[in-house]
Amino acid sequence: QRRVHGEFIQLARQMGFSSSKYDVTVLRSSAAPTASLIWLHGLGDTSAPWRQIQDRFAIPYMRFILPTAFDLHDLSPDSPEDEAGIDESCKFVHDLIAAEVAEGVPANRIVVGGFSQGGALALAAGLQYPSPLGGIVCLSGFLPLRSRFPAMVLPSQKSTPIFIGHGDGDPLVLPQWAALTAQRLKQEAGLNVTLSVYRGLSHSVSDQEMHDFRQWLKSLVQ
């Protein structure tokens, strides 16, 4: 495990980001990973609670990229959207994807995902990436940039698998937002969406949800 390894500090500086603002944790088991998961935390959180994901998923050929303190610009499902701010955050995610490609991982073996606002950002950034990705994950999140949808979806992502997981007891991002997100992705953009709803789950993740996420992920990058 290496936290903010040299390549990413150099990349952050080249992109004009300070390493203190964009703290990237990189976890890997293999010296030469062949797949990557970029995981985005929720607003007000850090990547720290998610660092167990490497051991929990036990995918030895996968590198886990966990940025902290990227600016989500107050994403929420029912507030006015700061589209310029979301675009800036999307560029940061796109630069992380490009860095993985530069490290030798093909874009179609890179999965972008996140929890809550991080899941919303994963959808926005993933659907607008110019090369086909391995997958997009949104846990307890929602569809942002609603005024641009579905025009914002690039042809490169038309076949990209999307996993949406949500608790039916979520009081913050209501479960109907997940249902509406999945419906719009499928019906308006023709995307490949899996929606899994978990009984009794609040604004958090469960063992069953993480199990389903892991199985879905492994099916894409095995």
Pick the catalytic residue from 36, 47, 116, 140: 116
Pick the catalytic residue from 19, 95, 196, 203: 203
95 part of the active site:
no
Q: What is the pLDDT of residue 69?
A: 63
Ranges of residues in the chain with a pLDDT under 70 are 1-22, 69-79
131 part of the active site:
no
Pick the catalytic residue from 23, 140, 166, 170: 170
Residue 115 φ/ψ region, left for φ over 0, alpha for ψ in the -120 to 50 degree band, beta for the rest:
beta
The two tokens of residue 53 are 């994901």
Contact 186, 150 (CB under 8 A): no
Q: What is the pLDDT of residue 15?
A: 34
Residue-wise over 92-114: b if at least 16 C-beta within 10 A, else e? bbbebbbbbeeeebebbbbbbbb
94 part of the active site:
no
